[in-house]
């Protein structure tokens, strides 16, 4: 299990510019990223099978809206994956 920051999208968007990216963010939540290695092996080895069970993406328990944060979280943080291992 890994803990992550989830960026919750407020509405659908296409080709969003940096000037408007925060208009599409509803808020932020804690995200626990579960992985079922056994489930993946039993169903053909694709990684998505080990990450896509209904209960594998718990969020919360709160949604923090952008106006509650003094310093905005950079929008590009949603696309970064940083690991020590």
pLDDT tens over the chain, length 85 residues? 677 788 888 999 899 888 888 889 899 898 877 777 777 777 776 767 667 777 777 788 899 998 888 776 665 554 454 444 4
Report how far residue 72's alpha carbon sits from residue 48's, in angstroms, rounded to the nearest whole number: 31
Report how far residue 24's alpha carbon sits from residue 57's, in angstroms, rounded to the nearest whole number: 21
The domain limits of the chain are 2-79
- Residue 46 contacts residue 15 (beta carbons within 8 Å): no
Considering the four listed CATH numbers 3.40.50.300, 3.90.850.10, 1.10.3720.10, 2.60.120.330, the one that applies to the domain covering 2-79 is 3.90.850.10
Sequence-ordered strand ranges (E) for 1-85: 2-9, 25-33
- Residue 69 contacts residue 27 (beta carbons within 8 Å): no
Rounded to two decimals, the pTM is 0.63
Provide the token pair at 24.
């599409």
Q: Residue written as tokens 């949604």?
A: 63
């Amino acid at each position: 299990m890994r803990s992550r920051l989830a960026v919750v999208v407020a509405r659908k968007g296409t080709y969003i510019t940096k000037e408007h990216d925060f208009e599409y963010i509803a808020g932020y939540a804690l995200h626990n990223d579960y992985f079922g290695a056994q489930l993946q092996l039993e169903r053909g080895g694709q990684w998505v099978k080990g990450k896509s069970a209904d209960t594998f993406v718990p969020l919360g328990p709160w949604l923090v809206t952008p106006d509650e944060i003094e310093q905005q979280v950079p929008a590009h943080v949603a696309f970064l994956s940083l690991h020590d291992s």
